[in-house]
């Protein structure tokens, strides 16, 4: 099953939060999933197993001592792809 997710990684109590955000984005880039980085989060698409694997990898990041990981999933047989959702605005 293919799913979409919107991921937001927020380091807490960090002196260099963007370095920690960049590490999370690098992990997403290396995941092999289709992704698009936005100013407030990153959208990914792929198999349910691959997306959940990425979320587990993000939860295991050691670059941040404390962080929030916000994830929204879009699951369903008739879901639009991320590209289809934004096509009319591009």
Cα 26-28-30 angle, rounded to 5 deg:
70
**Percent of the chain whose predicted confidence (pLDDT) is above 70:** 100
C-alpha 55/C-alpha 57 separation (Å) is 5
The pLDDT, as a whole number, for residue 22 is 97
Please write the tens of the pLDDT for every residue from 38-51: 999 999 999 999 99
Which residues, in sequence order, are bridge partners of residue 35? 44
pTM metric for this prediction: 0.91
Q: Coil, strand or helix: which one is 45?
A: strand
pLDDT over threshold 90, residue 16: yes
């Amino acid at each position: 099953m293919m799913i979409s997710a919107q991921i937001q990684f927020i380091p807490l109590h960090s002196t260099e939060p963007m370095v920690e955000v960049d590490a999370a984005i690098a992990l997403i880039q290396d995941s092999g999933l289709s992704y698009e980085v936005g100013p407030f989060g990153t959208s990914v698409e792929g198999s349910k197993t691959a997306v959940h694997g990425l979320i587990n990898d993000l939860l295991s990041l050691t670059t941040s001592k404390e962080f929030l990981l916000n994830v929204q999933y879009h699951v369903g047989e008739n879901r639009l792809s991320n590209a289809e959702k934004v096509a009319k605005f591009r």
